[in-house]
Amino acid sequence: MNEKLWKLHFPEFMGSNDNVIRQLMDAAVVVDLPSRQQVFYPGKACDNYLLMLSGSIRAQIISADGREILLYHVQAGDSCVLTTSCLLGDNNYPAEGYTESEVSAFAIPAHIFHRCLEQSTFFREFVFRNFSKRLADVIKRMESISFGSVDQKLAKVLIAIGDDTIYKTHNELALELGSAREVVSRHLKRFESYGWLTLSRGCIQNINFEALNKILKSTENN
């Protein structure tokens, strides 16, 4: 058991006096994955419950017209909502996931997950609390993709990042928005023509956040 990692990332487990939790911590294996590696795909069986230690995993689906639509990110301190759902329902993955950076995570074998879920009140509460929170985040994201203009959604993403220089490609922003790269590029170029930002390869600079906020306010008032 790697007590240092448990204490740093999941201290509530270290504070538990539950013997079942101690067995779970002993059974957990640290897995390290390189950037841009596929973690799961539609139809893949779910063998482990994952608790993220570092890095980021992108979960996404492919639309009927071939677009990648981001569902959520799994980052340090998170559990994966699709993994939890598949383990609880004994189902295979319905979507795909890729590492966005080097990733480190605790992998807990499925049979240990189910035994602890049955025997430990602490673990049940932890799993369902995190599952509920992550599911709510996914629903909010789907709502933001489904409703609102492209201008509004693009402005909201740029404001949320908050940096004067944003190192993201048009394709990465399209993935965030659940839109096509060509659509995002067209709107960004229009923003540039208004003097709201400057486009260069792989980054967006000189962002006028005041102008972007006006887009959101004007939409809210309509």
- Specify the DSSP class assigned to residue 26: H
Task: Indicate if the alpha-carbon torsion angle 50, 51, 56, 59 is positive or negative.
Answer: positive
- Section 190-214 average pLDDT: 90
Is the pLDDT at 150 greater than 90, yes or no? no
Task: Give the residue from 129, 124, 128, 131 showing the smallest Cα distance to 16.
Answer: 124
pLDDT class of 136 with cuts at 50, 70, 90 = confident
Count other C-beta atoms under 10 Å from residue 133's C-beta. Answer: 12
d(CA 165, CA 156): 15
Is the pLDDT at 175 greater than 90, yes or no? no
Angle between helices 81-89 and 121-146 (to 10 degrees): 120
Is the pLDDT at 222 greater than 50, yes or no? no
**CATH 2.60.120.10-classified regions of the chain:** 3-145
pTM of the model: 0.65
pLDDT class of 181 with cuts at 50, 70, 90 = confident
CATH number listed for the domain at residues 3-145? 2.60.120.10
E runs forming strands in the chain: 29-33, 38-40, 48-54, 56-62, 68-75, 96-99, 103-109, 198-200, 203-205
From the options 1.10.3080.10, 1.10.357.10, 1.10.10.10, 1.10.10.200, give the CATH code of 148-221. 1.10.10.10
Integer CA distances (angstroms), 212 to 137, 140, 185, 186, in order? 24, 21, 16, 16
**CATH 1.10.10.10-classified regions of the chain:** 148-221
* Residue 75 pLDDT: 92
Q: Tokens at residue 65, please?
A: 């017209």
Per-residue pLDDT tens for 64-81?
Answer: 667 788 888 999 999 999
Per-residue pLDDT tens for 16-46?
Answer: 888 999 999 999 999 999 999 999 999 999 9
Is the pLDDT at 109 greater than 70, yes or no? yes
Residue labelled with tokens 């430990």: 120
Is the pLDDT at 92 greater than 50, yes or no? yes
